């Protein structure tokens, strides 16, 4: 079984539109949406939820006002500046439990935190595992790990050959959690100064975690010069460019209708995405 994760560094480069197309093009696969704080893949795949589970992770400190003697030790020692006027900010508390251990009158307890939900759903393209991190919650990395673990379990049970994972933007905790142990990272970039800069950082992350990257330049014709610059950068670093997708309003129309563009169009973007999937499939088979 092989897993490809779609990442980008910069947000809004087209990860989800492309992952949605892969869902339609690939056979024998499970799907995972690892962008757990702004998941959008379901808007293209129209899943029917089969199973919904609570995701409990981490703890939050809670001060019992009636027992508190206002000694101030917790405020003084909290490294996260999470306690003001003897009240805990649930946004700042990182759940370390230090305050609860040192409170001289045991007025602080640590309470388990429900950080979100994860779902197993049916789509017309196959099973999808996705999740919703609660607003302002931490531990997105752990929820991502849960989504990938469930997708892998389904793929094993069903004998699927491929897992397609839509990743989050950035290079931090949820990205690392989406990437580690995958067989291939498809990095979707765009020919802009930010696209180039952010691609460089996410390539480094792939190196760090030893996952081979391949690149797709989306909206490649909005700036041909920047596009060539990306291709040269990839060539110099021994990274393949698996696809170049031209700017095509058919992609926006498809999103507006809630379908992957390859399902409703044969224009330039849809054709290039089909080629891109063939390249990714062949890279996956040799990874």
Contacting positions for other proteins (CB under 8 A): 8-13, 16, 36-38, 40, 43, 59, 77, 79-80, 91-92, 94-98, 101-102, 133, 135-138, 140-141, 168-177, 190-195, 197-198, 201, 204-205, 208-209, 222-223, 226, 252, 255-256, 258
- Work out how close the CB of 120 gets to other proteins at its nearest, in angstroms, rounded to a whole number: 20
Residue 126 tokens read as 């196959």
Considering the complex, state which of residue 158 and residue 224 has its C-beta at the smaller distance from other proteins: 224
Note the helical H segments in 81-217.
98-102, 140-158, 173-179, 193-208
Shorter beta-carbon distance to other proteins: residue 94 or 231: 94
224: buried, middle or exposed (CB in 10 Å: 19+, 13-18, 0-12)? exposed
Q: 27 or 111, CB closer to other proteins?
A: 111
Gap between the Cα atoms of 235 and 22, Å rounded: 25
* Pair 4, 280: CB distance under 8 Å: yes
Q: Both tokens of residue 166?
A: 């839509």
Smallest distance, other proteins to C-beta of residue 95, A? 6
| Beta-bridge mates of residue 202 | none
Give the nearer residue to other proteins in terms of CB position, either 140 or 150.
140
Of the candidates 131, 130, 198, the residue with the CA atom closest to the CA atom of residue 164: 130
Distance from C-alpha of 187 to C-alpha of 217, rounded to nearest angstrom: 8
Whose structure tokens read 């056979």?
27
CB of residue 93 vs other proteins: minimum separation in angstroms?
A: 11
Question: In 10 A of CB 192, how many CB atoms?
Answer: 17
Helices 15-25 and 268-286 meet at what angle, rounded to 10?
Answer: 70
Query: Quick one: which of 156, 149, 210 has its CA closest to 179?
Result: 210
Euclidean distance between CA atoms 1 and 155, whole angstroms: 8
For other proteins, which is the closer residue by CB, 88 or 255?
A: 255
Q: Select 29 or 132, whichever has its Cβ closest to other proteins.
A: 132
Of the two residues 8 and 123, which places its CB atom closer to other proteins in the complex? 8
φ/ψ of 225, rounded to 5, equals -65, -45
Smallest distance, other proteins to C-beta of residue 282, A:
29
Q: Which is nearer to other proteins, 40 or 122 (CB)?
A: 40
Whole-number minimum distance, CB 25 to other proteins, in Å? Answer: 20
Q: What are 49's strand-pairing partners?
A: 121
Looking at the chain, how many residues does it have?
A: 287
């Amino acid at each position: 079984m092989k897993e490809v994760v779609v990442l980008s560094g910069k947000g809004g480069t087209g990860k989800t539109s492309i992952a949605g197309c892969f869902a339609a093009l690939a056979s024998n696969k499970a799907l995972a949406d690892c962008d757990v704080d702004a998941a959008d893949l379901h808007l293209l795949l129209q899943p029917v939820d089969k199973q919904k589970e609570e995701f409990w992770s981490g703890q939050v400190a809670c001060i019992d006002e009636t027992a508190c003697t206002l000694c101030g030790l917790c405020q003084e020692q909290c490294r996260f500046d999470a306690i003001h006027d003897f009240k805990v900010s649930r946004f700042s508390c990182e759940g370390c439990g230090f305050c609860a251990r040192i409170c001289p009158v045991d007025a602080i307890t640590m309470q388990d935190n429900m950080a979100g939900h994860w779902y197993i759903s049916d789509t017309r393209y196959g099973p999808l595992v996705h999740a919703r991190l609660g607003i302002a919650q931490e531990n997105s990395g752990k929820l991502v790990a849960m989504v990938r673990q469930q997708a892998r379990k389904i793929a094993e049970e069903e004998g699927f050959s491929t897992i397609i994972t839509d990743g989050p933007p950035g290079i931090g905790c949820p990205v690392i959690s989406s990437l580690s142990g995958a067989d291939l990272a498809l990095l979707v970039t765009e020919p802009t100064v930010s696209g180039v800069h952010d691609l460089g950082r996410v390539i480094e992350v792939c190196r760090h975690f030893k996952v081979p990257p391949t690149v797709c330049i989306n909206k490649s014709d909005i700036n041909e010069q920047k596009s060539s610059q990306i291709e040269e950068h990839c060539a110099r670093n021994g990274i393949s460019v698996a696809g170049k997708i031209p700017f095509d309003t058919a992609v926006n129309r498809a999103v507006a209708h809630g379908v992957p563009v390859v399902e409703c169009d044969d224009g330039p973007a849809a054709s290039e995405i089909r080629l891109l999937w063939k390249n990714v499939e062949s890279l996956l088979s040799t990874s």
